Copies of this chain bind each other. A is one copy, B any other.
């Protein structure tokens, strides 16, 4: 790319932001754009063909999380699934109670949705996490009241990679007759998920995080759980989500799920090895760095560190110039005044949060990619620290 004059390699390490569509997935989608382009609601061969393709994809998505096909609703993405789960349950169960529980470290699609419900008059408890970003199931239990109707705690934390004890939280929810939703956008395909074993009533998936196309997602809704639809119109998706189905997108998502399931155990092992190599390399080569997130209960593809005395965006720009894509929880990259709410909830200072860097590994990454990052990152840090008015490097 034009702005990467010195890059000797292209190393995409932002797979938690989005992933490329893998060739098998694109190949599965292609027939549905122009040839088999029917509307799945139509009463003719073009329509039946589309309907069948959707049914087939629904089976594949269900299979990845060990659900039944008719427990899967297709949506436009993880954000919509989160909104549908939370608003849908809150509105459907309003007469049963007014209290909702979530955590302080949810994705904005969950957090801002609870905040919107708070403005509508719901009572929301935001349970805190520990310094590793871990939610204590007992903290959730203590937050439950007589009028609690929904608990939503994510599975794999998107910034710091901590894997939350959703099975335990689900058990507590069930014990109290409260519905349990989990946002599994980052863990799906990386960590085995069985919605029944894990006591999950609603679960959010997003296609573009697992090498499927953007603009598609799904919500698992356990049989018997009632939702108030949030998009009204035609009688699609068991009348729970109106809108002409994105057939090629759904087909691609299905294929991505099928491949993810087949490759999960081996790919997880491979990513974990690369992850640990990168973490160890950074901690060894760069002084004044801390690892964010849990050291063990961690998504296989997530590395998150804070580079003290530096601000994240300035590191990202330098990395990009060297061909490396990563992300940061700095305020400058968040579109808000504050650095990442997740890092702050974990107890990081603002300053340390501004210096956070996330490397999210994926299918295309190799040992050589990690070596390359470990080669280019230290001089960038050194150069920027020499420019910084704070820290030992500043000489002040």
Chain A positions 299 through 333: 1 when the CB is less than 8 Å from some CB of chain B, otherwise 0: 00000000000000100110110001111100001
Interface centre among A20, A76, A115 (most CB of B within 10 A): A76
- Complex contact A77–B42 (CB within 8 A): no
**Contacts A79-B234, A108-B234, A319-B44 given; does A246 touch B33 at CB 8 Å:** no
- Complex contact B14–A39 (CB within 8 A): yes
Chain A positions 2 through 14: 1 when the CB is less than 8 Å from some CB of chain B, otherwise 0: 1110000000101
- Complex contact B45–A3 (CB within 8 A): yes
- Complex contact B12–A231 (CB within 8 A): no
- Complex contact A44–B326 (CB within 8 A): yes
In the complex formed, the residue of B with least CB distance to A323 is: B45
- CB-CB contacts below 8 Å: A193-214 with B: 206, 208, 213-214
Bound-state Cα–Cα, A109 to B41, Å: 15
A396 at the binding interface (Cβ < 8 Å): no
In the bound complex, residues from chain B placing their C-beta under 8 Å from that of A18 are: 37-39, 42, 244
One of A21-29, A163-171, A280-288 contacting the partner = A21-29
- Complex contact B3–A80 (CB within 8 A): no
In the complex formed, the residue of B with least CB distance to A236 is: B79
* Chain A residues with a Cβ closer than 8 Å to the other chain, count: 77
Out of B78, B215, B325, name the residue touching A249 (CB < 8 Å).
B215
Closest Cβ of chain B: how far from A350's Cβ, in Å? 19
A159 at the binding interface (Cβ < 8 Å): no
In the bound complex, residues from chain B placing their C-beta under 8 Å from that of A328 are: 43
Bound-state Cα–Cα, A4 to B48, Å: 12
In the bound complex, residues from chain B placing their C-beta under 8 Å from that of A79 are: 231, 233-234, 242-244
- Complex contact B33–A233 (CB within 8 A): no
In the complex formed, the residue of B with least CB distance to A3 is: B45
Interface centre among A78, A110, A249 (most CB of B within 10 A): A249
Chain A positions 66 through 89: 1 when the CB is less than 8 Å from some CB of chain B, otherwise 0: 000000000011111011000000
Bound-state Cα–Cα, A244 to B16, Å: 12
In the complex formed, the residue of B with least CB distance to A336 is: B235
- CB-CB contacts below 8 Å: A89-141 with B: 107-110, 112-113, 115-116
- Complex contact A23–B12 (CB within 8 A): no
A225 at the binding interface (Cβ < 8 Å): no
- Complex contact A233–B83 (CB within 8 A): yes
Out of B39, B80, B112, name the residue touching A17 (CB < 8 Å).
B39
Bound-state Cα–Cα, A49 to B42, Å: 37
- Complex contact A45–B249 (CB within 8 A): no
**Contacts A77-B243, A109-B233 given; does A34 touch B46 at CB 8 Å:** no
- Complex contact A107–B233 (CB within 8 A): yes
In the complex formed, the residue of B with least CB distance to A117 is: B232
- Complex contact B12–A33 (CB within 8 A): no
Out of B17, B44, B49, B108, name the residue touching A233 (CB < 8 Å).
B108
In the bound complex, residues from chain B placing their C-beta under 8 Å from that of A313 are: 43
Out of B14, B245, B316, name the residue touching A214 (CB < 8 Å).
B245
Closest Cβ of chain B: how far from A114's Cβ, in Å? 9
In the bound complex, residues from chain B placing their C-beta under 8 Å from that of A19 are: 37
In the bound complex, residues from chain B placing their C-beta under 8 Å from that of A41 are: 17, 335
Bound-state Cα–Cα, A249 to B215, Å: 8
A365 at the binding interface (Cβ < 8 Å): no
In the complex formed, the residue of B with least CB distance to A120 is: B91
**Beyond A38-B325, A76-B243, A235-B335, 5 additional pairs, beta carbon < 8 A:** A3-B48, A76-B76, A83-B232, A109-B234, A234-B335
Can you list 18 A-B contacts (CB < 8 A)? A3-B45, A12-B46, A17-B39, A18-B37, A18-B42, A43-B327, A43-B328, A46-B325, A76-B76, A77-B243, A79-B231, A79-B242, A79-B244, A80-B231, A109-B242, A206-B244, A214-B244, A235-B335
